[in-house]
């Protein structure tokens, strides 16, 4: 997630998602993959400084996983090559789900799968580059542009033919943006349509939602977005819920964290951000997470506001000790949406004539080297 899943947050989430005594951990020892913020193919190929700065990995990060944005097969192929050869990346995901107007207006993100041939060419370029390093390539997409212009079933078939290792589907169209509820039936339909693994995405707020999604749709796994905002411990719950050891699953997850445990995670988050980007920048970066961590807990407005203005770890420490560590987890927050929601768009911005044909081989889709708005 753009602006969220930097090296520090990925480390915190994986610390939470790794069951310490090894019980029930998945083959990789954690709840799954923690994907780096999206970077653009062109930015990487052209050596854009911001793009390169985003490609930072924690020393503990055993499996490096990166999401690429791209609209041009040549750039995407080259960028995949660079990720594998220079950054030791073990998994590349391609983003075809971004609904942001400045992206779709240029034919990128969720607009791109409408051009079936171009989509296939991009996927093939990435898969071929990854294959030289034994690195699997996956793709993430939405249902389509709107209900009249669905793309996901064709995208699944094209991905499979291109040798893509798995496809993740966010059960919304671009026009829905983040509004309404995700259509899990579409995930089930995609699962029936393709042989490659399907990962379901949309509206997983608790581990129980992930289990329900897998049961309802037959999906092979899940992708979590907003549900982890201020909740790195969601991965602990997911590791337990999907444990291969039935005894772990039967025992159930650990208890919901009290406020003291949450503030310990907040402190760890700020500290890790500081380690990666220096204390001052790290504290600034931490500020946006405060309201997510404290959502529903009995913490006064003044204290929350002060925490969202910290510049040093010492300031944060002085504020964190003022909360009641024994305050119970706010049960009313369970299963409720967090992060971006908003309303549906009236239209999806697209290049002129975009919907007139579904090929796209000769359409020039100009890629923005510094596009970092995500999906
Ligand atoms: C702040 C933010 C940044 C995001 N950045 C990305 C991104 O870079 N790449 C991507 O594929 N999806 C991105 N997404 C979308 C999520 O991955 C996910 O598809 C979407 O939020 C629906 O899943 P959820 O209900 O679990 O949040 C972002 C979402 C948010 C809220």
* CB atoms inside a 10 Å sphere around CB 366: 11
Q: How far is the CA of 256 from the centre of ligand 1 (A)?
A: 25
The pLDDT value recorded for residue 246 is 81
Instruction: Provide the pLDDT confidence category of residue 362 given band limits of 50, 70 and 90.
Output: low
Q: How far is the CA of 225 from the centre of ligand 1 (A)?
A: 5
The pLDDT value recorded for residue 366 is 63
Instruction: Provide the pLDDT confidence category of residue 250 given band limits of 50, 70 and 90.
Output: confident
**85-118 pLDDT, tens per residue?**
999 999 999 999 999 999 999 999 999 999 999 9
Closest atom of ligand 1 to CA, residue 37: 8
The residue with tokens 């009641």 is: 324
The pLDDT value recorded for residue 251 is 76
**316-331 pLDDT, tens per residue?**
999 999 999 999 999 9
**6-52 pLDDT, tens per residue?**
999 999 999 999 887 655 454 444 568 999 999 999 999 999 999 99
The pLDDT value recorded for residue 28 is 43
What lines the ligand 1 site, CB under 6 Å? 1-4, 37-38, 67, 95, 97, 140, 170, 201-204, 224-227, 339-340, 374-375
C-alpha span between 58 and 10 (Å, rounded): 8
The pLDDT value recorded for residue 18 is 87
The pLDDT value recorded for residue 31 is 64
Say how far residue 170 (Cα) sits from the centre of its chain: 11
The pLDDT value recorded for residue 95 is 97
Q: How far is the CA of 201 from the centre of ligand 1 (A)?
A: 9
Q: If you take atom 7 of ligand 1, which residue's CA is the nearest one?
A: 374
Selection from 74, 83, 76 nearest residue 135 by Cα: 83
The pLDDT value recorded for residue 122 is 97
Mean pLDDT of 276-300: 97
Mean pLDDT over the full length of the chain:
93
Q: Are 65 and 114 in contact (CB under 8 A)?
A: no
Decide which of 251 and 180 is more confident: 180
The pLDDT value recorded for residue 375 is 66
Give, for ligand 1, the residue of 93, 167, 226, 340 to mutate: max count of ligand atoms closer than 8 Å to Cβ. 226
Decide which of 367 and 149 is more confident: 149
**155-193 pLDDT, tens per residue?**
999 999 999 999 999 999 999 999 999 999 999 999 999
The pLDDT value recorded for residue 361 is 76
Q: How far is the CA of 300 from the centre of ligand 1 (A)?
A: 29
The pLDDT value recorded for residue 249 is 78
Closest atom of ligand 1 to CA, residue 340: 31
CB contact set of 301 (below 8 Å; sequence gap of 6+): none
The pLDDT value recorded for residue 360 is 82
3-state secondary structure the chain: CCCCCCHHHHHHHHHHHCCCCCCCCCCCCCCCCCCEEEEEHHHHHCCCHHHHHHCCCCCCCCCCEEEEECCCHHHHHHHHHHHHHHHCCCEEEEEECCCCHHHHCCCCHHHHHHCHHHHHHHHHHHHHHHHCCCCCEEEEEEEEEECCEECHHHHHHHHHHHCCCEEEEEEEEHHHCCCCCCCHHHHHHHHHHCCCCEEEECCCCCHHHHHHHHHHHCCCEEECCHHHCCCCCHHHHHHHHCCCCHHHHHHCCCCCCCHHHHHHHHHHHHHHHHHHHCHHHHHHHHHCCHHHHHCCCCCCHHHHHHHCCCCCHHHHHHHHCCCCCCCCCCHHHCCCCCCCCCCCCCCCCCCCCHHHCCCCCCCCCCCCCCCCCCC
C-alpha span between 63 and 33 (Å, rounded): 7
Asked whether residue 70 carries a pLDDT value surpassing 70, the answer given is yes
Mean pLDDT of 347-362: 90
The pLDDT value recorded for residue 289 is 98
Catalytic residue among 13, 98, 228, 283: 98
The pLDDT value recorded for residue 364 is 61
Closest atom of ligand 1 to CA, residue 203: 25
Q: Are 121 and 158 in contact (CB under 8 A)?
A: no
The pLDDT value recorded for residue 254 is 73
Asked whether residue 4 carries a pLDDT value surpassing 70, the answer given is yes
Instruction: Provide the pLDDT confidence category of residue 372 given band limits of 50, 70 and 90.
Output: low
Mean pLDDT of 244-259: 82
Known catalytic membership, residue 98 = yes
The pLDDT value recorded for residue 46 is 96
Selection from 172, 300, 278, 298 nearest residue 226 by Cα: 172
52-56, 68-72, 117-121, 253-257: which has the minimum mean pLDDT?
Answer: 253-257
The pLDDT value recorded for residue 245 is 82
The pLDDT value recorded for residue 27 is 43
What percent of the chain has a predicted confidence (pLDDT) above 90?
Answer: 86
* CB atoms inside a 10 Å sphere around CB 24: 18
């Amino acid at each position: 997630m753009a602006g969220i899943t930097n090296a520090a947050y990925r480390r915190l989430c994986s610390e939470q998602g790794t069951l310490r005594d090894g019980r029930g951990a998945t083959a990789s020892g954690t709840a799954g993959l923690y994907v780096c913020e999206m970077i653009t193919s062109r930015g990487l190929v052209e050596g854009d400084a911001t793009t390169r700065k985003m490609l930072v990995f924690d020393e503990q990060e055993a499996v490096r996983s990166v999401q690429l944005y791209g609209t041009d097969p040549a750039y995407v192929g080259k960028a995949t090559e660079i990720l594998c050869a220079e950054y030791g990346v073990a998994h590349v995901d391609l983003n075809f789900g971004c609904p942001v107007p400045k992206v779709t207006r240029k034919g990128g993100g969720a607009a791109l799968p409408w051009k079936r041939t171009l989509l296939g060419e991009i996927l093939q370029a990435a898969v071929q580059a990854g294959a030289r390093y034994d690195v699997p390539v996956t793709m993430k997409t939405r249902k389509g542009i709107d209900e009249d212009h669905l793309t996901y079933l064709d995208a699944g078939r094209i991905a499979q033919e291109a040798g893509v290792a798995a496809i993740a589907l966010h059960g919304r169209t671009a026009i829905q943006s983040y509004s309404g509820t995700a259509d899990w039936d579409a995930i089930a339909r995609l699962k029936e349509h393709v042989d490659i693994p399907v990962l379901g995405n949309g509206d997983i707020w608790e581990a129980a939602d992930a289990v329900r999604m897998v049961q309802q749709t037959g999906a092979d796994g899940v992708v979590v977005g907003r549900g982890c905002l201020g909740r790195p411990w969601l991965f602990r719950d997911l590791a337990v819920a999907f444990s291969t050891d039935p005894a772990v699953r039967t025992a159930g997850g650990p208890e919901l964290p009290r406020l003291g445990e949450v503030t310990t995670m907040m402190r760890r988050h700020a500290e890790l951000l500081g380690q990666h980007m220096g204390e001052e920048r790290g504290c600034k970066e931490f500020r946006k997470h405060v309201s997510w961590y404290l959502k529903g807990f009995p913490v006064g407005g003044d204290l929350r506001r002060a925490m969202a203005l910290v510049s040093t770890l010492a300031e944060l420490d002085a504020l964190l000790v003022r909360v009641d560590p024994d305050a119970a987890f706010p049960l009313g927050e369970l299963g409720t949406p967090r992060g971006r929601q908003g309303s549906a768009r009236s239209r999806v911005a697209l290049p002129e004539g975009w919907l007139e044909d579904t090929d796209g081989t000769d359409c020039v889709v100009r890629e923005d080297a510094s596009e970092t708005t995500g999906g």
